[in-house]
Every structure is written in structure tokens, then in C-alpha cells.
């Protein structure tokens, strides 16, 4: 089904329903967290450490407090409750205590009646630092026990996850072809356009109401309340408009700070980060060093993989443990490999903290294993697609963790599909605008080489390794103005992925009503879990469906009472109760008779298990998703410029719920992968970030993004609601290695580090 055909087909499940928040978004009236305003509000700012590692010898706030217009200046001593927080480990201080561990670590807070006043006061806080040599060598942090510790006596290794399968000694003897590679992935930033921001309003009950852009309201709440010394119920969160997330809003940024200032001043407090501060205000994608050795038979069948992955987690753990779990469990890719020795490490250093970003640990590994697959292909004299097909997992395959894929995994067919895409027309000399660099009139194709590359990725959907994940939905059906109307209430964060659209589509479909309202997300309803791990269609979609089903059952019961007969197999359609024979027996308005039917349901996915700490064995993942990319590039080998001519993607999504929004997710994931392949890297020198701006940290423009072809498959996952498969992340994995493979194809260069720079291509 094409997007064009589906458009305007309606607004039920499977249609290209338009965004209910779209009108407000195209006019700019949609209220993002940075647009919030309250009477009497004051502005909060954060004093951050200029040093990546230092002992704090003293903090003097007296001058700052004396600035007219200043309402409060806070340090760690003013944190009334727990002093530390964190997603997985409570290792991060709300405000630095006695030492700082990364450049940009929050040290003190100021609230003042004007942001400029607050900044001026911040500049008058005197902090004494005894500067120490930063610990920035992630590999030594992982492997050298003598390397100094970032956190006192705690090991620098946040997590080490081995995978051990088969008999490596035997495998090495059997392998006829061995290829080795060392790869490096630079630190990528999520770079959402709407910086961290929120408004904290002190409440009469001594608690606080926080309006904030986040990915998971309840996990914020659980971390904020203890630090404020408040019971959870007195910290209420409402989702404000989210200007992009991509993982960067999983961790707290200004949440506790704004609440502290609000409680201290008794005034609403707004904090909005600037772009530079945003680079310091959230975690980034882990930079990685990856060493891989693949052994294969001469006909290209993998015999073993021996790998070491070191992920630099920076100063605080954030979600490093889970990122390591993904890198390890998905570290050989979607291939059947009988013998595996793999060690994934996530470590502390004094570099910027790293955590979640779209693709989450699977991205780094994918670049390495896909680069290796091309090497295997070359060594065996095989086509890169063919070597992948020969090793591709399928339903029933056993992964390196021992987990059996018990859902469709038509990877070989997807690869064939990718190969079968028509080739984009060769760049002639006729239209010089299509050449790399894009500048008119000076290049006529001399030195421009076409290259084609393929890559596949495997991504887990939902939270893994035994995490008891769930989502909650409350659905209410009533009559409004004589028409049946549904209200859907969850705490799930719409971050741009189109979740509010989908929730409404589900309710329309399940309840047979046209009018559906999705209530603002807040903590007034149970947790929906995070808008992460491509999980919300599955989890909150599943919860909304479950709540709708419960409402439907009750409505049918009411209809049965009203009609005095049972209605086995009845359903709701077009505002009516419809009997099993397809005849409408009553209108919803009649059945409801002014009453409201409301049901709340929690949805849980099937249980997973932890990975064995020594062997990495376990059924750790809920669901697997796959995407295949073909990239076609033109490389100006004289100037080192790459133009991605076309990206084509094949993805299996189980079931298409909204074609238009789905295509958007594939475009977006591919674009972020393109950025990592060709331009995006936070430059860190001795723990100091050198490019915290959009002039120096480049993300792709619309001119960098090529046209895309997509082929979307629907092989239902029998375990998932509607058979769907999470879709947001997989394209981010495979886009990067496909582009790099295409550049290699064009240039013959090894290109083992991303982002690829012009000097790696021709000007080195």
C-alpha cells in the first residue's frame, strides 16, 4: 500500500490518519515546554563545571544572593532529600558534591525575576576548584585495573557482558577465511531542536506540579520525589509539548532543579536551556571502539565471531548497563553464528555522560558487524547481499544469546527485495547540481564515483532483560452532544512519533466511534513506560486496545440488559452495537443513556529473562525488528565529498497501523543514521567539548537527505498487539553502515571510523 493510496482513506487503524495535534503544530500554537508561562514566575539557571574533573574546595554564593532580583541560590546542601539519582544506578548528584566528574556538571542553581539577572548572579557564584587530570581513556578504564577510578572505590566498569557460545578453539581451526577489523564510532548527539525546558509550580499541599518535556513521566517522578524529600504523589507531572527526544529525554535534566527552586521560592520556576547548555544537559550516544574478528568457510558461512566492544559511558551510568546489554546480545547482528566470544564493556570516564539514543547500543555494533560482513564477502569473492543471505537468521533461528526467534524474520527475502530495487539513474554530466557538494558550474563529473552499499540491522523492541515493563490506559466512552465520544488517557509521551494519532485510531477502530479525544499525558493515570525502545505502539497501543476491549464488553453488557437478550459475538461499529450477524441492534447513545463507561487496563508484554553474567545466555528480548538499507552514493574522490543519491529501505513492521507516520519514522531514522555516517560528532578533547553549537556540530540539512524508497512488509508477530513490530529505531541502525559501505565501494578506502570525513576519502 502506498502512502498516496492510503491518504484520506479514513482514520481507523491502517489508515494514514493525520495528526490531531497537527493544526496547532503548523501554526505554532502548540505549546512546547519552552512556551509555558505562569504569572509571577521566576527563571532558573544552572551553574556548571568548566572542568571535566576537579575537587570542589569551596562554594561562595553570597555575592550572587546579593544581586537584586535574585530569589534563591542553591547548592547540594539545599537538596532536602536524596542527593543522588539515576535511571539504573543512583550515582549522579543533583548538584555536585565536593567534586565534579564531567565538563558541564551542575554545581549550583539560581532563580531570579529575569533570565539575564539569573545569569549575572550565576557568574558571581565563586567556586574553588582543584583541577585534576581527567580520566578519558575508555579502553584503559575497561581493561586496566590500575587505571584511576572515576567514582572513588567503585570499579570503572559499569557493566561487562560476555557472550560465550560454542567452541572457539575448534572454530578457529575450522574457519577457512578470517577477517579482522577495528572500528570507531564518534559521539553522536540527539540534537533535538526543542531544548530542555519546563515549568515547576509549587502546590498548596507542599508538593509541586511540573510541566515538562520528557519521554517517561513516571520514571521522572520516581527520581524527582525522593530528592525533594516528598512522597511520590505530591510530585505531579504533566507532559508539555516535546520538541524531539531520540533518547535524550530519558534522563533527568532540569526537572529536579526547577522543582527545588519552586519549592524554595514559592514561585513558579521556568528553566529553559540554550543550545550550548543543551549539549551539556543531556547524555549522548556512547562513542565506541570495536574490535572484530570473523571466521568463515570459503563459501561465506560464518563459523565464529570474536569481538570486543568498549562503550564510553562518561561520568555517570545513565542507561549504560542496558546499552551494553544490547551491544552484547545483538553484537553479531542478525546472523546465525555457531561460535561466539564477545565482550562488551561500558565504563566510567570523565567524558560527557552517555546513555540512550535511537538505536541504543545496537547502532555501534551494527556499524562494525556490517563492515565485517562486507569484508567476509570480499574475502570469499561473494556479493555483499549474498553473504548476508547465507547467514541471515530466520524464524526459528537461535541467536548468540541462545534465544530462539519465535516470530517471522524474513531477512533473506528482505535482502532480496533491497537488491531488487531499481537503481537510481546514473549521474550524468547533464545535471551538475546532482553532484557531491552541489555547487553549480564547476564540477562536471570528473572524479565522481558511484558506489552502492547494503546493510542490515537487528533491534530489540521494548525493554529487555527481565524488566517488568507495562503501560496503562484509561478509556472512557460517553455521549457528548448526542454523539458517542471516547476519551483516551495515558501517561505516554508524544515526542513526534505520532502516538496520539495512533491512540485515537485504536479507539476509533475498537469502539466504532468517530469522535476520540486523547487527553494530555500526566501522572494522573498509571505509568505508560518510556517513549523509547520503539515500544509505545506495542505497549501503549496494547494498553489502549485492552482498555477499549474492556469498555466494549461493558457496553455490550449494557446493550444486552437494554434489549433483554444476549449478544454473543457483538461488536461496535459506526456508533452502533452490531450483533454477530452484522445487524445493528442499538445505537451507542441509546445504550449509554447518558452514562459513561470507563475502564483502565495495564498491558504487559511477555516476560523476558536476564542474560547470564558469564555466558550471556538468556531469552532477554521481547521482540526483534529488522531493517535493510541500500545506499547509493556519488563520491567526489578529489574533494572527499559524499552525496547520498538515494536511500532505500526494506522493513518488516508486522502490521502497518498508519502508513504516513510509519514512512516518516523510516525517513527520520535513516536521516539520523546518515548524520552519523557523514558528519555528526561531538568533539571531545581531554574531556572538554569543543563544538557545542549547530555551527560546529553539523546535522543533515534537507539538501543532504536524499529521496527515499521504502518497502514495508507485514509479517505479523503473533505475540504482539495487532501483530505489530516497533518501527522507529531499526532504520537508524542500518542506514549508517549502508552509506559507509557505499562510500567504500566508490573509493576503495577502508573507512573504519564514523563519521567519515573528507580527509578519510581523499585528502588524508
Partner 1 sequence: MDASIRLRVDGQWRTLDVDTRTTLLDALRERLGVTSPKKGCDHGQCGSCTVLLDGRRAVTCLALAVAHDGAEIVTAEGLADGEDLHPVQRAFLEQDGLQCGYCTPGQVCSAVGMLEEVKAGWPSQVTEDLAGPPELDDEEIRERMSGNLCRCGAYPNIVAAIRQGAR
Partner 2 sequence: MRPLEYRRAEDPRRAVTAVAGRPGAMFLGAGTNLVDHLKLGVARPDLLVDVSHLPYDKIEPRPGGGLRIGAAVRNSDLAAHPLVRQHYPVLAQALLSGASPQLRNLATTAGNLLQRTRCPYFQDVTTPCNKREPGTGCSALEGYNREHAVLGASEHCVAVHPSDMAVALTVLDAEVRVLGSGGERTIPITELYRLPGDRPDRDTVLKHGDLITAVDLPGLPMAAHSAYRKVRERASYAFALVSVAAAVQVRDGAITDARVAFGGLAHKPWRAYRAEEALRGVRVSAAPGDTLAEATTAAPIAAGGAASTGENAGGTSTVEDLRAAADAELADARPLAHNAFKIPMARNTFVAVLRGLLREEGATR
Residue from the set 232, 691, 715, 752 that interacts with partner 2 by CB under 8 A:
691
Q: Identify which of residues 25 and 595 has a Cβ nearer to partner 1 in the complex.
A: 25
Task: Please check whether residue 243 is in contact with residue 34, taking contact to mean a CB–CB distance below 8 angstroms.
Answer: yes
**Partner whose footprint covers residue 663, from partner 2, partner 1, none (CB < 5 to 8 Å by kind):** partner 1
Beta-carbon count within 10 A of 533 CB: 29
Q: Identify which of residues 225 and 271 has a Cβ nearer to partner 1 in the complex.
A: 271
Strand partners, 59: 127
Binding string to partner 2 for residues 719 to 748, with x set by CB under 8 A, is what? ----------------------------xx
**Partner whose footprint covers residue 62, from partner 2, partner 1, none (CB < 5 to 8 Å by kind):** none
**Partner whose footprint covers residue 748, from partner 2, partner 1, none (CB < 5 to 8 Å by kind):** partner 2
Residues 6+ away with beta carbon under 8 Å from 333: 365, 366, 369, 370, 373, 456, 457, 458
Q: Identify which of residues 357 and 507 has a Cβ nearer to partner 1 in the complex.
A: 357
**Partner whose footprint covers residue 641, from partner 2, partner 1, none (CB < 5 to 8 Å by kind):** partner 2
The DSSP-derived string for 131-150 is E------HHHHHH-TTSPPS
Q: How far is the CB of 363 from partner 1 (least distance, A)?
A: 15
Q: Identify which of residues 202 and 700 has a Cβ nearer to partner 2 in the complex.
A: 700
User: Cα(751)–Cα(54) distance, rounded to whole angstroms?
Assistant: 37
DSSP code of residue 18: P
Q: What residues line the site for partner 1 (CB under 8 A)? A: 7, 16, 18-19, 21-23, 25-32, 34-35, 37, 190-195, 241-246, 272, 274-275, 431-434, 438-441, 495-498, 660-661, 663-664, 667-672, 693-695, 699-703, 705, 707-708
Q: Identify which of residues 43 and 335 has a Cβ nearer to partner 2 in the complex.
A: 43
641 binds partner 2 (CB under 8 A): yes
466 CB-contact burial (10 Å; exposed 0-12 / middle 13-18 / buried 19+):
middle
Q: Looking at the chain, how many residues does it have?
A: 764
Q: How far is the CB of 140 from partner 2 (least distance, A)?
A: 22
Beta-carbon count within 10 A of 530 CB: 28
113 binds partner 2 (CB under 8 A): no
Residue from the set 678, 682, 712, 738 that interacts with partner 2 by CB under 8 A:
678
45 phi and psi, to 5 degrees? -135, 165
Q: How far is the CB of 633 from partner 2 (least distance, A)?
A: 13
Residues 6+ away with beta carbon under 8 Å from 286: 185, 187, 311, 312, 313, 320, 323, 346, 354, 355, 361, 364
**Partner whose footprint covers residue 685, from partner 2, partner 1, none (CB < 5 to 8 Å by kind):** partner 2
- Grid coordinates representing 550 are 474492556
Residue from the set 68, 153, 568, 701 that interacts with partner 2 by CB under 8 A:
701
End-to-end CA distance of the chain: 46
**Partner whose footprint covers residue 29, from partner 2, partner 1, none (CB < 5 to 8 Å by kind):** partner 1
Q: Please tell me the count of residues contacting partner 2 according to CB under 8 A.
A: 42
**Partner whose footprint covers residue 434, from partner 1, partner 2, none (CB < 5 to 8 Å by kind):** partner 1
Beta-carbon count within 10 A of 450 CB: 16
703 binds partner 2 (CB under 8 A): yes
- Grid coordinates representing 250 are 530519558
User: Cα(273)–Cα(608) distance, rounded to whole angstroms?
Assistant: 38
**Partner whose footprint covers residue 764, from partner 1, partner 2, none (CB < 5 to 8 Å by kind):** partner 2
User: Cα(8)–Cα(589) distance, rounded to whole angstroms?
Assistant: 27
**Partner whose footprint covers residue 98, from partner 1, partner 2, none (CB < 5 to 8 Å by kind):** none
- Grid coordinates representing 657 are 497501523
Q: How far is the CB of 739 from partner 1 (least distance, A)?
A: 14
Q: Identify which of residues 719 and 749 has a Cβ nearer to partner 2 in the complex.
A: 749
**Partner whose footprint covers residue 449, from partner 2, partner 1, none (CB < 5 to 8 Å by kind):** partner 2
Residue from the set 130, 683, 707, 750 that interacts with partner 2 by CB under 8 A:
683
Residue from the set 25, 173, 696, 750 that interacts with partner 2 by CB under 8 A:
696
Q: Identify which of residues 336 and 704 has a Cβ nearer to partner 2 in the complex.
A: 704
Task: Please check whether residue 118 is in contact with residue 103, taking contact to mean a CB–CB distance below 8 angstroms.
Answer: no
443 binds partner 2 (CB under 8 A): yes
User: Cα(13)–Cα(15) distance, rounded to whole angstroms?
Assistant: 6
Q: How far is the CB of 685 from partner 2 (least distance, A)?
A: 6
Which listed range, 66-74, 333-341, 443-451, 724-732, lies at the site for partner 2 (CB under 8 A)?
A: 443-451
Which ranges in 478-618 belong to alpha helices (H)?
499-511, 536-563, 588-592
Residues 6+ away with beta carbon under 8 Å from 4: none
- Grid coordinates representing 588 are 451507542
Q: How far is the CB of 748 from partner 1 (least distance, A)?
A: 29
Q: Identify which of residues 602 and 704 has a Cβ nearer to partner 2 in the complex.
A: 704
Task: Please check whether residue 686 is in contact with residue 136, taking contact to mean a CB–CB distance below 8 angstroms.
Answer: yes
Cα within 13 Å of Cα(723), Cβ side? 15
338 binds partner 2 (CB under 8 A): no
Our CA angle for 731, 689, 344, nearest 5°, is: 50
Q: How far is the CB of 536 from partner 1 (least distance, A)?
A: 14
User: Cα(409)–Cα(716) distance, rounded to whole angstroms?
Assistant: 10
**Partner whose footprint covers residue 498, from partner 1, partner 2, none (CB < 5 to 8 Å by kind):** partner 1
Q: Identify which of residues 48 and 508 has a Cβ nearer to partner 2 in the complex.
A: 48
**Partner whose footprint covers residue 637, from partner 1, partner 2, none (CB < 5 to 8 Å by kind):** partner 2
Task: Please check whether residue 205 is in contact with residue 233, taking contact to mean a CB–CB distance below 8 angstroms.
Answer: no
**Partner whose footprint covers residue 130, from partner 1, partner 2, none (CB < 5 to 8 Å by kind):** none
CA separation (Å) from 573 to 14, 35, 134?
16, 40, 64
**Which helix or strand (DSSP H or E) is residue 250 part of?**
none
Residue from the set 446, 553, 561, 574 that interacts with partner 2 by CB under 8 A:
446
Residues 6+ away with beta carbon under 8 Å from 310: 138, 139, 142, 143, 288, 289, 290, 345, 347
Which ranges in 305-346 belong to alpha helices (H)?
320-329
430 binds partner 2 (CB under 8 A): no
Task: Please check whether residue 47 is in contact with residue 107, taking contact to mean a CB–CB distance below 8 angstroms.
Answer: yes
List strands edge to edge, sheet with 708-713.
Answer: 448-461, 623-636, 641-652, 708-713
Q: Identify which of residues 237 and 679 has a Cβ nearer to partner 2 in the complex.
A: 679
User: Cα(159)–Cα(348) distance, rounded to whole angstroms?
Assistant: 10
Which listed range, 159-167, 438-446, 593-601, 736-744, lies at the site for partner 2 (CB under 8 A)?
A: 438-446
Residues 31-50 that bind partner 2 (CB under 8 A): 50
Q: Identify which of residues 156 and 530 has a Cβ nearer to partner 1 in the complex.
A: 530
640 binds partner 2 (CB under 8 A): yes
DSSP code of residue 32: B
Helices 217-228 and 255-265 sit at what angle, rounded to 10 degrees? 50
Q: Identify which of residues 195 and 484 has a Cβ nearer to partner 2 in the complex.
A: 195
Which listed range, 19-27, 379-387, 542-550, 690-698, lies at the site for partner 2 (CB under 8 A)?
A: 690-698
- Grid coordinates representing 348 are 566510567
19 phi and psi, to 5 degrees? -65, 130
Q: Identify which of residues 24 and 593 has a Cβ nearer to partner 1 in the complex.
A: 24
**Partner whose footprint covers residue 762, from partner 1, partner 2, none (CB < 5 to 8 Å by kind):** partner 2
Residues near partner 2 (CB under 8 A) are 50, 116, 437-444, 446-449, 637-641, 643, 678-679, 683, 685, 690-691, 693, 695-696, 698, 700-701, 703-704, 747-748, 757-759, 762-764
Amino acid at each position: 500500500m502506498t502512502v498516496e493510496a492510503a491518504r484520506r482513506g479514513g482514520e481507523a487503524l491502517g489508515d494514514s490518519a493525520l495528526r490531531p495535534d497537527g493544526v496547532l503544530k503548523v501554526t505554532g500554537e502548540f505549546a512546547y515546554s519552552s512556551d509555558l508561562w505562569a504569572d509571577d514566575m521566576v527563571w532558573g539557571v544552572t551553574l556548571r563545571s568548566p572542568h571535566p574533573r576537579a575537587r570542589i574546595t569551596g562554594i561562595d554564593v553570597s555575592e550572587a544572593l546579593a544581586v537584586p532580583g535574585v530569589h534563591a541560590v542553591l547548592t547540594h546542601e539545599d537538596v532536602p532529600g536524596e542527593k543522588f539519582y539515576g535511571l539504573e544506578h543512583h550515582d549522579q548528584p543533583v548538584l555536585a558534591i565536593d567534586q565534579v566528574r564531567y565538563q558541564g556538571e551542575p554545581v549550583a542553581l539560581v532563580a531570579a525575576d529575569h533570565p539575564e539577572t539569573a545569569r549575572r548572579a550565576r557568574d558571581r557564584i565563586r567556586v574553588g576548584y582543584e583541577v585534576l587530570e581527567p580520566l578519558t581513556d575508555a579502553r584503559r578504564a575497561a581493561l586496566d585495573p590500575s587505571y584511576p577510578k572515576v567514582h572513588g572505590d567503585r570499579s570503572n566498569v559499569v557493566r561487562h557482558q560476555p557472550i560465550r557460545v560454542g567452541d572457539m578453539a575448534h572454530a578457529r581451526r575450522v574457519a577457512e577465511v578470517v577477517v579482522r577489523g577495528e572500528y570507531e564510532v564518534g559521539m553522536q548527539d540527539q540534537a533535538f531542536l526543542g531544548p530542555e525546558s519546563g515549568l515547576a509550580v509549587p502546590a498548596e499541599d507542599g508538593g509541586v506540579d511540573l510541566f515538562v518535556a520528557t519521554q517517561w513521566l513516571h520514571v521522572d517522578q520516581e527520581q524527582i520525589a525522593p530528592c525533594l524529600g516528598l512522597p511520590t504523589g505530591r510530585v505531579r507531572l504533566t507532559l508539555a509539548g516535546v520538541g524531539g527526544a531520540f533518547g535524550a529525554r530519558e534522563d533527568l535534566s532540569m526537572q529536579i532543579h526547577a522543582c527545588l527552586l519552586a519549592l524554595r521560592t514559592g514561585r513558579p520556576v521556568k528553566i529553559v536551556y540554550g543550545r550550548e547548555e543543551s549539549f551539556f544537559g543531556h547524555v549522548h550516544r556512547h562513542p565506541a571502539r570495536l574490535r572484530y574478528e570473523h571466521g568463515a568457510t570459503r563459501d561465506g558461512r560464518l563459523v565464529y565471531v570474536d569481538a570486543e566492544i568498549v562503550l564510553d559511558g562518561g561520568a555517570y551510568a545513565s542507561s549504560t548497563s542496558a546499552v551494553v546489554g544490547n551491544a552484547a546480545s545483538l553484537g553479531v547482528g542478525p546472523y546465525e553464528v555457531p561460535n561466539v566470544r564477545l565482550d562488551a564493556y561500558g565504563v566510567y570516564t570523565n567524558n560527557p555522560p552517555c546513555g540512550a539514543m535511537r538505536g541504543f547500543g545496537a547502532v555501534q555494533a551494527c556499524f562494525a558487524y556490517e563492515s565485517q560482513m562486507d569484508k567476509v564477502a570480499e574475502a570469499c569473492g561473494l556479493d555483499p547481499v549474498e553473504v548476508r543471505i547465507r547467514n541471515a537468521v530466520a524464524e526459528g533461528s537461535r541467536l548468540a544469546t541462545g534465544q530462539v526467534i519465535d516470530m517471522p524474520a524474513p531477512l533473506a527475502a528482505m535482502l532480496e527485495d533491497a537488491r531488487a530495487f531499481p537503481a537510481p539513474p546514473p549521474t550524468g554530466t547533464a545535471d551538475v547540481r546532482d553532484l557531491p557538494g552541489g555547487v553549480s558550474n564547476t564540477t562536471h563529473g570528473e572524479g565522481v564515483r558511484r558506489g552502492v552499499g547494503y546493510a542490515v540491522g537487528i533491534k530489540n523492541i521494548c525493554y529487555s532483560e527481565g524488566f517488568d515493563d507495562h503501560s496503562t490506559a484509561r478509556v472512557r466512552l460517553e455521549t457528548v452532544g448526542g454523539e458517542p465520544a471516547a476519551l483516551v488517557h495515558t501517561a505516554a509521551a508524544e515526542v513526534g512519533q505520532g502516538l496520539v494519532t495512533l491512540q485515537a485510531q485504536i479507539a476509533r477502530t475498537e469502539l466504532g466511534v468517530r469522535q476520540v479525544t486523547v487527553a494530555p499525558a500526566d501522572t494522573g493515570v498509571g505509568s505508560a513506560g518510556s517513549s523509547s525502545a520503539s515500544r509505545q505502539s506495542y505497549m501503549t497501543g496494547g494498553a489502549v486496545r485492552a482498555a477499549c476491549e474492556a469498555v466494549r464488553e461493558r457496553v455490550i453488557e449494557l446493550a444486552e440488559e437494554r434489549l433483554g437478550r444476549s449478544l454473543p459475538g457483538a461488536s461496535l461499529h459506526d456508533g452502533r452495537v452490531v450483533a454477530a450477524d452484522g445487524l445493528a441492534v442499538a445505537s451507542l447513545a441509546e445504550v449509554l443513556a447518558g452514562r459513561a463507561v470507563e475502564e483502565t487496563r495495564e498491558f504487559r508484554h511477555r516476560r523476558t529473562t536476564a542474560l547470564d553474567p558469564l555466558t550471556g545466555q538468556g531469552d532477554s528480548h521481547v521482540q526483534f525488528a529488522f531493517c535493510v538499507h541500500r545506499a547509493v552514493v556519488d563520491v567526489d574522490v578529489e574533494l572527499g565529498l559524499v552525496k547520498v543519491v538515494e536511500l532505500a529501505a526494506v522493513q518488516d513492521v508486522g502490521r502497518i497501523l498508519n502508513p504516513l507516520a510509519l514512512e516518516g519514522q523510516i525517513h527520520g531514522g535513516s536521516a539520523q543514521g546518515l548524520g552519523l555516517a557523514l558528519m555528526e560528532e561531538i568533539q571531545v578533547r581531554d574531556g572538554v567539548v569543543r563544538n557545542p553549537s549547530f555551527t560546529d556540530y553539523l546535522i543533515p540539512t534537507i539538501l543532504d537527505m536524499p529521496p527515499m524508497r521504502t518497502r514495508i512488509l507485514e509479517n505479523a508477530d503473533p505475540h504482539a498487539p495487532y501483530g505489530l513490530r516497533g518501527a522507529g529505531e531499526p532504520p537508524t541502525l542500518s542506514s549508517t553502515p549502508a552509506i559507509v559501505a557505499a562510500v567504500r565501494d566508490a573509493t576503495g578506502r577502508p573507512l573504519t571510523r564514523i563519521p567519515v570525513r573528507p580527509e578519510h576519502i581523499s585528502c588524508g
